[in-house]
Amino acid sequence: MTKGFRLLPPATLPVARLVLWARGARAFGDGFVCLLLPVYLVGLGFDALAVSTILTATLLGSAAATLGLGWVARHFGRHQLLLAAAVIMAGTGLGFAFLESFWPLLLVAFVGTLNPSSGDVSVFLPLEHTVLSHAVDDRNRTALFARYSLIGSLVAAIGSLATAVPDFAAAHTAISLQSAIKVMFLLYGALGVFNWLVYRRLPREPEAADGRRAAPLGVSRGIVLKLAALFSLDAFAGGLFVQSLLALWLYDRFDLSLTVTGSIFFWTSLASALSYLAAARIAARFGLINTMVFTHLPSNLCIMVLPLVPNLWLAIALLLVRGLLSQMDVPTRTSYVMAVVTPEERTAAASMTAVPRSLAGALGPLAAGYLPFGWPLIVGGALKVIYDLALLALFRQVKPPEERGQD
């Protein structure tokens, strides 16, 4: 008899289920916020530079918060830090719903948790990754992170469809488009409250079973620093066409509505979700590094060709192919980082690799504003190819525990 899909892989502690619930709620909010945010800011009268600056502030704020995480985590439990992050998420939604001036919004963007990208770059990420890494054994670690990414992508796809709500409200009720988007920001804040309630149920010390406490980087420092440098290059390249900017490019190039754009990103997110199901199996067969590199390379070629296509249907086809391939490195990358460091170093390693990614990714949208139309996609794709080849050259022989001893 064939076994059905299980939310948790074998030998996984129940605490992982709570993290997956929280990831799903946050992904739903990210799914509509990253598409509505630039439209909302343009509707307030901000020019392209102001919009790019606010998007950059969201990523810089995430980087700053994550930067302090490695130190703070040694003094406060992950339970407390996740609760605090959920409160900030709720406040972020309220801030964007009620503020309209540039400087207050810039401050909220920096302090808050808005995510203008298609992936999770928030302070939640290293905390949740560490909880998950302690909840599963080496054999099932990649499968658990694949489920974490799968849920994020699936629910983000549904969130993308929710961008049609303001369009519908503006067309069929007396409410304006801007006011309808403000309601969506309130919904984002409510999701922060939901996550706070979920995090309250987390054990205060998820790692207590093995008696280990979070520690700064030690024996794994060299490996982590090299990975952080490479991940920074990848993040900067991705920041050149972060999802909010990619949505704006589609609006401008093909004159799309919010509803149509949301539908496109629904299907691309769904394609990414399907890829997560395959990522763990491919990694088990070919290894984590090979999976990261050889699925990422063709997806980068797709993004480089995108500015050259003559019509919307070809653009959608390329985005779907990219969606099927580009995100397979997400669960494998996370699993790899958690595998090549000691258990005590996992929180510090997660923070050390996330901070440079966030900082470099924050510079991408700003740099994109200085490039000619379409060129951010070409330059970003080319830089990602360089990242893939460098990762393969430097880490092909650095194997996680489950791959050691294999040919």
Residues 47-71 pLDDT 10s: 878 888 898 898 888 878 877 776 6
Q: Residues of the chain with pLDDT > 70: what percent?
A: 92
Q: Which two tokens stand for residue 249?
A: 């490019």
How does the average pLDDT of the chain come out, rounded? Answer: 86
Residues 209-260 pLDDT 10s: 444 445 566 677 889 899 999 999 998 998 888 887 888 788 788 888 888 8
Residues 341-360 pLDDT 10s: 887 787 778 777 877 777 78
Residues 88-120 pLDDT 10s: 999 999 999 999 999 999 999 999 998 877 566
Residues 250-273 pLDDT 10s: 878 888 888 888 899 899 988 888
Kindly report the three-state secondary structure assignment for every residue of the chain.
Answer: CCCCCCCCCCCCCCHHHHHHHHHHHHHHHHHHHHHHHHHHHHHCCCCHHHHHHHHHHHHHHHHHHHHCHHHHCCCCCHHHHHHHHHHHHHHHHHHHHHCCCHHHHHHHHHHCCCCCCCCCCCCHHHHHHHHHHCCCCHHHHHHHHHHHHHHHHHHHHHHHHCCHHHHHHHHHCCCCHHHHHHHHHHHHHHHHHHHHHHHCCCCCCCCHHHCCCCCCCCCCHHHHHHHHHHHHHHHHHHHCCCHHHHHHHHHHHHCCCHHHHHHHHHHHHHHHHHHHHHHHHHHHHHCHHHHHHHHHHHHHHHHHHHHHCCCHHHHHHHHHHHHHHHCCHHHHHHHHHHHCCCHHHHHHHHHHHHHHHHHHHHHHHHHHCCCCCCHHHHHHHHHHHHHHHHHHHHHCCCCCHHHCCCC
Catalogue all structural domains in the chain, each as residue range(s) with its CATH number: 15-400 (1.20.1250.20)
Mean pLDDT of 314-332: 90
**Taking the model in full, what pTM does it have?**
0.75
Cβ contact 351:126 at 8 Å: yes
pLDDT value at residue 369 = 74
